[in-house]
Amino acid sequence: MASNPSFDVSTGADLQEVDNAVNQALKEVAQRYDFKGSHCTVEFDRPKAEIRLAADDEFRMDQLLDIIRTKMVKRNVPVRNLVIGENIPSTGTTVRRTIGLTQGIQQDTAKKMVKAVKDAGFKKVQVAIQGEELRVTGPSKDDLQAVIAFLRGQDFGIELKFGNYRG
């Protein structure tokens, strides 16, 4: 007997592409005239999935953040998954900032997504939380496509990826 069709909903960024975007941003900072003589740094901590920025002042920090965002968009890294921290004053006029990368669907967001699908009234469609992703199963492919369209139309604050489709 064949099982019901299903697909997975997940989120996250390709860490290699993030690394490439950070390296491109460092090259641009080294070449830009308005950053000459400044001490701006960008560090990517791959195991923690976070980017640490340091700049001479808040203006340069804003410019640095803009460069990072631009490079990530060009590398197809979802910028909606960036958790941008506040400017933290450091010694003198220098400031620091940490950017976190959302690598999985948080538990509270997953519960909101499950509730939204159930409230939308999709018949016989089941949504299960499996770690940091969701598994959606249903009796027909049309129902699953309707759920995908519904989830794309909602705003959960993260970029959603749909994959692992099994028919």
- pLDDT digits 0-9 by tens, 74-116: 999 888 988 999 998 888 889 999 999 998 899 999 999 999 9
Angle at 41 between CA 67 and CA 16, to 5 degrees: 65
Is the separation of the CB atoms in 160 and 102 below 8 Å? no
Pair (64, 89) in one structural domain: yes
User: Does 79 share its domain with 126?
Assistant: no
Helices (H), strands (E): how many in the chain?
A: 4, 9
Cα 130 to Cα 10, 61, 65, 94, 100, distances in angstroms: 10, 38, 34, 43, 22
Is the pTM value of this prediction over 0.95?
Answer: no
CATH number of domain containing 143: 3.30.70.860
- Write out pLDDT tens, residues 27-67: 999 999 988 888 899 999 999 999 999 999 899 999 999 99
- Is 1 part of any domain? no
CATH number of the CATH domain containing 94: 3.30.70.990
- CB environment 41-50: b (16+ within 10 A), e (fewer): ebebeeeebb
HSE toward the beta carbon, residue 51, CA cutoff 13 A: 27
- Domains held by the chain: number: 2
**126-155: pLDDT as tens digits:** 999 998 999 999 988 888 999 999 999 998
For residue 125, the enclosing domain spans: 6-11+105-166
DSSP H/E element including 41: strand 41-45
